[in-house]
Structure 1
Amino acid sequence: MKNTIYTLLLTAVGLSACTKMNHEYAPYLTNGEIFYTGISTNLEVHPGRGRVELQFTRSQDPNITKFVIYWNSRSKQLELPATSNVIQKVVVPGLSEGDYTFEIVAYDKAGNPSTPGSAIVAGSSLGQTFENNLLPRRVSISNSQSGIQLDLVSVDTTCKYTTVSYTTTSGSTGSVKYMDVNALTDTLKNASPALSSIRVKTAYVPVNGIDTFYAEQVVPVNLAVGKYTCTGQMTDYTNASLTGAYPWNVTLRPTTATQLELVDNDQTNDVFHKILSGGSGSYYGQFGVVFNLNSNHQVVSVINKYGQPSGNGRSAELDPSGINKFDPATRTLKVKYWMNQPGATHRTSFDEIFTMK
């Protein structure tokens, strides 16, 4: 009798518990049980010009029939039919430049979606602002008897190539395409001897990008820039034991588009004027020659790099009796100038010919 009463009590409690549980979950079962299809994984966003490419791995759920891409808080969407490929790709076009968050929802043939918020990825659409901030590959330009020499700096692997366009000896447009991202040197052997500029266009593809972006610049060419052998005459009116160190290996190095400093390649490897003192190599302290040229390759002034005057009273001055001009055809520079010390007193005269190597 006691066991019978105990069994009846357990049954009553169980029925009461089930009734309560069903009551709590009833609102969620109004439309029947909810089924979610498999979610997408390994989400990637590949940036492009006014667009992005989405790449993801589809679920193994065989019932998936389509994917819907949502963005802008689900106010925008794009539908993609499912394929049997494990990797799914889709391009989302017509995007203004900026950052976006995409949600990828898979649907099966019954219309059941994957779990909301389970496949979200952020990425960027690129445009004019991004492109304007790109820099063309830097290049140093010098002249030589073999042609215009280009020294290109190294760049990262987002740089796909650099194109250099220029005027040839025949007056047509020539171009060279450089694929190597490492620093390199090349000579434009058919460049016009009167070349005034080159156009540098560098192509970039962002990491995982799907489109190419460009940075372009017109770079002026100073034809007098290069390596030379300097010959000529030098007279120091105060000390006869100081004489010219000719022939002298030098470089005319640009400081601006129209200004060149004279680099001593034999004695100091710096901007000083080499001389001989009693037959031995020496140089004038605090005196370095800087030539200013105009657009017609004429030397319009000569100044001392270390001041006009420098701390020891030395300055430079152009001698107007000289030819004072660079000849693009022969690639030679002829110039006369003085070193003044003290004040405007002409202490040393130079009459020099720079023959390009």
Structure 2
Amino acid sequence: MKYIIYTLLLVATGWTACTKMDHEYAPYLSNGEIFYTGVPTRLEVHPGRGRVELQFTRPKDPNVTRFVIYWSNRSKHLEIPATDVMVQKVIIPDLREGEYVFEMVAYDKAGNPSARGAAIVSGSSLGQAYEGNLQARRVTVANSQSGILLDFTSVDTVCRYTTLGYTTLPGAAGTMMYSNRDAFRDTLKDASLQLSVIKLKTAYVPPSGIDTFYARQELAVNLLAGKYVCTGQMTDNTTASLTGPYPWNVTLRPVTATQLELVDDDQTNDVYHKILSDGNGSYYGSFGVVFNLDNHYRVISVVNKYGQPSSNGRSAELDPSGVNTFDPVTRILRVKYWMNQPGSTHRTSFDETFTMK
């Protein structure tokens, strides 16, 4: 008798519980059960020029037939078919430069979508603003007896290569391409003796990028820029114990396309004129030589880097009786000039020959 009573109680309790559960979930089942298909995973956005590449891993659900990619707050979309390839890629074209958020939805054969907001990734479309901020690879240009010396700085991995355009000895267009990312030196042995401009174009591919972007620069070439051995004569009209330092190792360093400053490589490693005082190394204070040239390699003036005059009254002046010309064939500069200061119009005279190394 007790067994029968317990059985009736269990049946009644179970009926009541099921009725209550169905009542609570009825509103959600009025249109039938909701099915969500598999979600695309491992989404990546690879930037390009006015476009992006979206890469993803398709869900393992074999019923998935297509994918829809939404962006710009779902105002734009792109639909692509599903394939058997697990990792798929698709190009999203015609994007203005900027940041984008992409949402990906998978659909199965019955039209059931993956859960909204379950596959979202952001990325950038690149264009003129990005490219305009790129800098051409830094190259220092100098001349030498063996040709034009090019010293390249090191670059990171986004820099793929640099092309260099110049004029050759026969007057034809020459091109060099460099992909070495470390700092290095090269020599243009066939460069024109009248070379004035080198055109640089550096190619960059952003991280995970699908397109190449370029930075361009025209680099003015001063054929007098380089390392020299200076010989000649120096006469200090006020102090006989001050004599010339020849032979003297110097650098003619470009300031502009037609202006160079004389750097002392033996003593100060700066823009000062070295001298000997009783045979010992010294230099004229507040006096540094700057040569101004025309487009035919003629020296048209000499000025003092530290002022005309400097704080101690010293200035520089070209002596027109000199050759005052650079020969691009022999790579030799001959120039005469004075150092002037109050009390002695031409205190020191220099008659110097600079032979390029």
Using the size of structure 1 for normalisation, the TM-score is: 0.94
**What is aligned with 2:30?**
30
Distance 1:10 1:175 in 2: 93
SS in 2 for 1:130: helix
1:197 — aligned with what? 197
**Structure-to-structure mapping, 1:278-317, within 5 angstroms:** 278-317=278-317
- TM-superposed CA distance for 1:97, in Å, is 1.1
Return the alpha-carbon distance in structure 2 between the equivalents of residues 59 and 344 of structure 1.
91
Distance in 1 (CA, whole Å) between partners of 2:295 and 2:32 is: 85
* 1:100-137 Cα deviation digits (max 9, x unpaired): 11111111222211111100000011111111111111
- Distance in structure 1 (CA, Å) of the matches to 2:126 and 2:280: 63
Cα distance in 2 between the residues matched to 1:75 and 1:313: 74
Aligned partner of 2:84 in structure 1 is 84
Quick one: distance in 1 between partners of 2:223 and 2:146? Answer: 13
- 2:175 paired residue number: 175
Q: CA deviation at 1:346?
A: 0.8
Question: How much has 1:343 moved relative to structure 2?
Answer: 6.2
SS in structure 2 opposite 1:255? strand
**What does residue 213 of structure 1 align with?**
213
Q: Does 1:154 align with 2:154?
A: yes
Q: CA deviation at 1:220?
A: 0.6
- For 2:135 and 2:35, the matched residues in 1 are separated by 52
Matches within 5 A, 1:99-110: 99-110=99-110
100-109 vs 188-197, which deviates more?
100-109
Q: By how many angstroms is 1:8 displaced?
A: 6.0
Say which SS state the counterpart of residue 23 (structure 2) adopts: helix
1:342 and 2:322 are equivalent in the alignment: no
3-state SS, counterpart of residue 27 of structure 1: helix
Aligned residues: CA RMSD: 1.9
Residue 87 of structure 1 and its aligned partner are, at CA, apart by: 1.0
Q: Secondary structure at the match of 1:70?
A: strand
2:128 maps to what in 1?
128
The size of the alignment, in residue pairs, is: 357
Describe the SS at the equivalent of 2:69.
strand
Task: State the shift of 1:16 in Å.
Answer: 4.4
Shift, 1:204, TM fit = 0.3
Measure the CA separation in 2 of the matches of 1:150 and 1:355.
20
- 3-state SS in 2 of match to 1:194: coil
Instruction: Out of 197-206 and 287-296, give the one that drifted further.
Output: 287-296
SS in 1 for 2:256: coil
Deviation at 1:5, TM superposition (A): 7.5
* DSSP-derived class of the 1:19 partner: helix
Match of 2:47 in 1: 47
How far did 1:17 drift?
A: 4.3
Q: Following the alignment from structure 1 to structure 2, what is the Cα–Cα distance between the partners of residues 307 and 314?
A: 8
Distance 1:343 1:178, change over 3 A: farther
Residue 97 of structure 2 corresponds to residue 73 of structure 1: no
How far the C-alpha of 1:4 sits from its partner, in A, is 7.2
Q: Distance in 1 between matches of 2:30 and 2:334?
A: 98
Deviations 1:31-79 (A, max 9, x none): 2111111111111000001110111112222222221111112221112
For structure 2, list consecutive stretches of 5 or more residues without a partner in the other structure.
none
Distance 1:239 1:73 in 2: 84
Instruction: Give the Cα–Cα distance (whole angstroms) in 1 for the partners of residues 37 and 314 of structure 2.
Output: 86
SS in 1 for 2:330: coil
TM-score (norm 2): 0.94
- Give the stretch that moved more between structures: 30-39 or 341-350: 341-350
Contact 1:309 1:343 in 2 (8 A): no
SS in 2 for 1:199: strand
Contiguous gaps of at least 5 residues in structure 1: none
Identify which range, 296-305 or 10-19, moves more after superposition: 10-19
User: Take 2:292 and 2:345, find their aligned partners in 1: how far apart are those partners?
Assistant: 21
Amino acid at match of 1:297: Y
Aligned pair in 2 of structure 1 residues 257, 289: CA closer, same or farther (>3 Å)? same
My pick for the range that moved more, 328-337 or 201-210, is 328-337
The aligned counterpart of 2:236 is 236
- TM-aligned CA deviation for residue 14 of structure 1: 4.9
Q: Report what 2:324 is aligned to.
A: 324
User: Which residue number in structure 2 is paired with residue 97 of structure 1?
Assistant: 97
